[in-house]
Homo-oligomer: A and B are copies of this chain.
Amino acid sequence: MSASDPRVGDLTEGAILRGILDRLAPTRAVVGPGDDAAVIAVADGRVVATVDTLVHGPDFRLAWSDAFDLGWKAAAVNLADVAAMGARPTALLVALAMPDDTRRSFVEGLADGLRAACDSLAPECAVEGGDLTVSDTLTIAVTALGSLDGRAPVLRSGARAGDVVAVAGTLGRAARGLAILFERFTDAAGAPLAVDGSALTGEERSDLAVQLRPRPPVALGPVAADAGATAMMDVSDGLVLDAARLAAASGVSVSFDSAALGPDPTSALSGGEDHALLATFPSGSVLPDGFRIVGVVTERGVDAVTVDGRPHDGRAGWDPYRDWDAGRG
């Protein structure tokens, strides 16, 4: 195996890089990978820019995610952030820090996943630059750039009392997928075990797929902006927690109707990582296909978020510092 699938520690940076670049989509940039920096065309006069990091342990486990999954997810979570501004993703930069015993095939799988996520979720976006470095902890930091194509950015701060609250994409399924991993694919000591899909129902497999290869509704970001969305964000940490952030930024409260949250409102309210789009629209708006109404915006009350008129009394979502437990991940 070692001869045909060498450790990256036995390769030069140039050789690793060629293996990656060969698998990526052709550059669409003015200057693509290979120089000190990329140069991306920006017709709009503004560029949208965001970065999000996946770290082995807190964000993924190699026993559960393969290289393709990781590349896919690292791209998808950043594409969702660009979409949440009302923008169209145009380029990714990928900073990859990996142990020197990482195999070349792993790096190639990661590149395949990055490309597939772009091709599927944001076909005009490609990896246009990046950085390779050695680390004890496998870490993937992806920067995404995007174009507003003349639109005003849709901020978290624009929601107004009377607006409807709508969501596009799944809610709570990624969290259910994560629960399946922790409950069904760990050993007695809590260490992750390889996933045996044959042990799962179709719905469980589907929840797991949302956790491992999320499909945020990236194309709906600009569509929502064009439809008059007053505020928008992606639901990365949990609907109640993220809605509370939107409410705080807008100086309003958000009231959810649990009956609109599907068959498992508890997961929908607290589960993170689906990267659905949460948006507010003026009352009476014709919502774009793909969005469904889940609540209303009210004047700022005692609680930033209520569910069925009451304060939310369950878990609100995931805080990466407060909630992180090194033993559990």
Interface residues, chain A, with chain B CB atoms under 8 Å away: 8-13, 16, 30-31, 34-53, 55, 57-59, 81-82, 84-85, 87, 91, 93-95, 97, 100, 128-137, 139, 141, 143-146, 148, 153, 155-157, 232-234, 249, 319-322, 324, 326
Contact = CB atoms under 8 A, between A and B. Distances in A.
B51 A130 contact: yes
18 contacts: A13-B321, A35-B156, A35-B233, A36-B81, A36-B82, A36-B85, A36-B232, A37-B48, A39-B46, A41-B45, A42-B42, A47-B47, A47-B145, A49-B93, A95-B95, A137-B137, A139-B141, A141-B141
Nearest to A80: B36
B53 A95 contact: yes
Contact of A319 (B13, B35, B52, B128): B13
Nearest to A43: B45
A49 B153 contact: no
Nearest to A57: B136
Contacts of A44: 42
A30 to B, nearest CB: 5
Given A37-B50, A37-B82, A139-B141, 17 more contacts: A13-B319, A13-B322, A31-B85, A31-B155, A35-B153, A36-B81, A36-B233, A37-B49, A39-B153, A42-B44, A42-B47, A49-B129, A51-B95, A58-B135, A93-B143, A134-B320, A136-B137
How many subunits of this chain does the assembly comprise?
Answer: 2
Contact of A135 (B47, B51, B55, B82): B55
A223 to B, nearest CB: 16
A143 B47 CA distance: 14
A85 B9 CA distance: 29
Contacts of A13: 319-322
Nearest to A59: B133
Contacts of A132: 320-321
Contact of A39 (B39, B47, B131): B47
